[in-house]
Amino acid sequence: MADFHQSGVITTLHRLGSSDVARLERELLSYGRTRPIALVLPCLASELHGPGLKGIVDTLRGVGYLRQIVVSISGADEERAEYDDMRALFDGVKTLDGQEPILLWNSGSRVKALYQRLEEEGLAPGASGKGRSTCLAFGYVLGSGVSRVIAMHDCDIRTYDREFLARLCYPTAHPNLNYEFAKGYYGRVADRLYGRVTRLFVTPLLRAMKATLGSHPLLEYLDSFRYPLAGECSMTTDLARINRIPSDWGLEMGTLVEVYRNCSQKRICQVELTENYDHRHQDLSEDDARLGLHRMVVDIASSAIRNLASYGVEFDAGFLNTLTAAYRRTAQDAIASYSDDAALNGLVFDRHEEELAVETFSRALRAAGLGFVRDPMDVPQLPNWNRVASALPDFLDELREAVEADALES
């Protein structure tokens, strides 16, 4: 029996049986006349040779309702060889109007000059990475004035198909559903349970926070999402204009908090995109907090702590000790539950590896908390586009011109 249970404070849109993809795409084509859809793809240059991106590109060749496709490339060389290779990979992909995808070259001299302008104006664009890459792509869409809905997903998805994209776009593109933001979710199972950071860190942390702080509206909201770290979401361009997002691995959690600040919860949903999902898996990196899941958890914990502090929650060393102990016990209890679930379903389950992950995440939580206690003003968030436009009225036009000039040199 398909799961249609509604829980938490936001609406859940389930995948009940097999979807009629042709129907979804026909409707999206119709809605696109008044609510044009842009697809933003934050992409690492290293993903050019990975199995995920090629499959995504092949799928997009069969999609006919997108008005814009913006590929924001990070980590490419400055000699544009990888930029040109990426353009060649997307050959044959067309939008509804027959336009080629827009490639935004973050390592190019023109875009770097724009980042420098932001820096000089006191609008720090953050370090290179997914957050900054995504933010600039949103800026291009806003500056072009073409689309009213933006969908975004990662470029390492190995289980991508047209249904996945259509379901992601549908809640915010449908004119009568009235959602301003939709978060994707899915299962993460192969021969074992994946999604370690969500299973063993984010969910136990939120529940430990609720146990130590009591009921808090922001915690109830965040705990309503089945997969808060999913890289897939869609939103209206009005929301994209006013959201401030982190430039680091706290992107997904920070985005959810910004949506909480800027939207009525009746205008927020989560949508099941596919039965099961697979992408590139990262190492735990238990001995190096600069790499892998260890680095990711430090950034996520920092984002959660800073956002709660902005709602009046006090974090000091004593409370941090209490929270870390509560998190550790909650996560260890979760391991027992997942072990039983894996046993029933005949899945591989390495109890030692799960415990090692919790120990690593505990250290990361403590490091993030101490970092906040030392410097509560160090907020790695990017300015929203309303503020950029106020300080630099011509910036979005200059961004569009820079991206188009890069394309003409190909």
The average pLDDT across 311-328 equals 89
- The yes-or-no verdict on residue 128 having pLDDT over 60 is yes
Task: Determine, yes or no, domain membership for 140.
Answer: yes
Query: pLDDT at position 228, please?
Result: 93
Q: Are the CB atoms for 211 and 200 separated by under 8 Å?
A: no
Q: Which residues of 286-306 are buried (b: 16+ CB within 10 A; e: fewer)?
A: beebeebbbbbbbbbbbbbbb
How many structural domains does the chain have? Answer: 1
The average pLDDT across 173-202 equals 94
With cut-offs at 50, 70 and 90, classify the pLDDT of residue 225.
Answer: very high
- The yes-or-no verdict on residue 47 having pLDDT over 80 is yes
**What proportion of the chain, given as a percentage, has pLDDT over 90?**
67
- The yes-or-no verdict on residue 27 having pLDDT over 60 is yes
- The yes-or-no verdict on residue 127 having pLDDT over 80 is no
Q: How far does Cα 159 stand from its chain's mean position?
A: 17
**What proportion of the chain, given as a percentage, has pLDDT over 70?**
98
- The yes-or-no verdict on residue 380 having pLDDT over 60 is no
Task: Determine, yes or no, domain membership for 1.
Answer: no
Task: Determine, yes or no, domain membership for 144.
Answer: yes
Task: Determine, yes or no, domain membership for 209.
Answer: no
Cα 33 to Cα 65: distance, rounded to the nearest angstrom: 9
The average pLDDT across 382-398 equals 92
Query: pLDDT at position 365, please?
Result: 94
With cut-offs at 50, 70 and 90, classify the pLDDT of residue 2.
Answer: low
For 59-112, write each residue's pLDDT tens digit: 999 999 999 999 999 887 777 888 899 999 999 999 999 999 999 999 889 999
Task: Determine, yes or no, domain membership for 192.
Answer: no
Task: Centre a 10 Å sphere on the Cβ of residue 203 and count the other Cβ atoms it contains.
Answer: 21
More reliable by pLDDT, 364 or 410: 364
Task: Determine, yes or no, domain membership for 214.
Answer: no
DSSP 1-65: -------SSSEEE---SS--HHHHHHHHHHHTTTS-EEEEEEEEGGGGGSHHHHHHHHHHTT---
Query: pLDDT at position 13, please?
Result: 97
Query: pLDDT at position 280, please?
Result: 74
Query: pLDDT at position 360, please?
Result: 96
Q: Are the CB atoms for 61 and 93 separated by under 8 Å?
A: yes
* Domain with 71 in it: 13-177+382-410
Task: Determine, yes or no, domain membership for 198.
Answer: no
Find the range with the poorest average confidence among 96-105, 145-154, 276-285, 396-405. 276-285
Query: pLDDT at position 1, please?
Result: 38
Cα 375 to Cα 378: distance, rounded to the nearest angstrom: 6
3-state secondary structure of 116: helix
Task: Determine, yes or no, domain membership for 200.
Answer: no
17: left (phi over 0), alpha (psi -120 to 50) or beta: left
